[in-house]
Amino acid sequence: MPSLSTFERTVRKRLGLPMPITRKRLEYRHRHQNAFTISRFIKRVAPFDHCTWADMDEMKLRPADFKRGWGYAQRGDPAEARQIVIGNRRFVVYACLVYHGFSSWQFHECNTNHTHTTDFIRHKVRPFMDNTMRGLIDDNASQHHHDDVRAALNEAFRGVWYYSPAYTPRLKPIERAFSLIKRYLRLHEDEVLLDPPKWINKAFQRYSVLGPKGHKYSGFWNLYARMNQSFLAG
């Protein structure tokens, strides 16, 4: 969820009101959030325990993504962070995150569409879901709205799944989980360049449910835990 000050600036910008003096930059995701959609989503998911969610999304690993510079620098100097470049190869990774880490993942070295999403949900996600699990999937991607994808989600979660509101990364724990995967790949740049598939798998295994670092993802669900606690408290 955005902070109160961010929400205020968003409303002011949409209504054409004067903006308050601030050092904080209004980001694209804040300008395009819909407060009413977010509120409706929270009311729908708050009754459910935070340990029963499965968050699904895909991550693109392209040379252009790793060449971007992010970070801090002296005024006037470019802010660059050392990034890994996976040769000239492009990968799309599908993954499913639960409370204790990644339950499943699958990557493709090609362009993907709704058929890849459907296959991942039916063959990689569904076998690990029990009757208590509920699904989350990003609302931004058009392929997530295809009839085949909806049918696969209904099969995997018995119809209990939700689209997360657009441009709300805090409501998508898997977005933060992906950042740890990318960080791990950057820390092993030389090895990844030699064998990208092996190290992509190794990164996800490290942060999987049975991996040594899967427990690090439990804190990413704290927002859902607080929503559930507020609901139970009335």
Buried b (16+ CB within 10 A) or exposed e, 121-141: bbebbbeebeeebbbbbbbee
Sign of the torsion formed by the C-alpha atoms of 37, 40, 44 and 47 = positive
Q: Which of 42-46, 65-69, 73-77, 85-89 has the lowest mean pLDDT?
A: 65-69
Q: How many CB atoms lie within 10 A of CB 221?
A: 20
136, pLDDT greater than 50:
yes
74, pLDDT greater than 50:
yes
Q: Residue 108: which H helix or E strand, with range?
A: strand 101-108
pLDDT digits (tens, 9 = 90+) for 84-134: 557 678 889 999 999 999 999 999 988 889 999 999 999 999 999 999 999
Q: Check residue 70 and give its pLDDT.
A: 47
pTM of the model as a whole: 0.79
6 vs 30: CA distance, rounded Å: 7
pLDDT digits (tens, 9 = 90+) for 21-32: 554 454 555 556
Q: Check residue 87 and give its pLDDT.
A: 67
107 vs 85: CA distance, rounded Å: 17
Mean pLDDT, residues 147-172 taken together: 93
| 8-state DSSP, 124 | I
For residues 170 and 223, is the Cβ–Cβ distance under 8 A? yes
Q: Give the start-to-end residue ranges of the domains of the chain.
A: 49-232
Burial class (CB in 10 A: 0-12, 13-18, 19+), 168: buried
DSSP H helical segments within 89-195, as ranges?
114-120, 147-157, 173-187, 189-194
180, pLDDT greater than 80:
yes
The sheet with strand 91-98 has its strands ordered as 101-108, 91-98, 53-61, 134-138, 161-164
Name the CATH superfamily housing domain 49-232. Answer: Ribonuclease H-like superfamily/Ribonuclease H (3.30.420.10)
Q: Which of 25-29, 75-79, 213-217 has the lowest mean pLDDT?
A: 25-29
Mean pLDDT, residues 180-203 taken together: 89
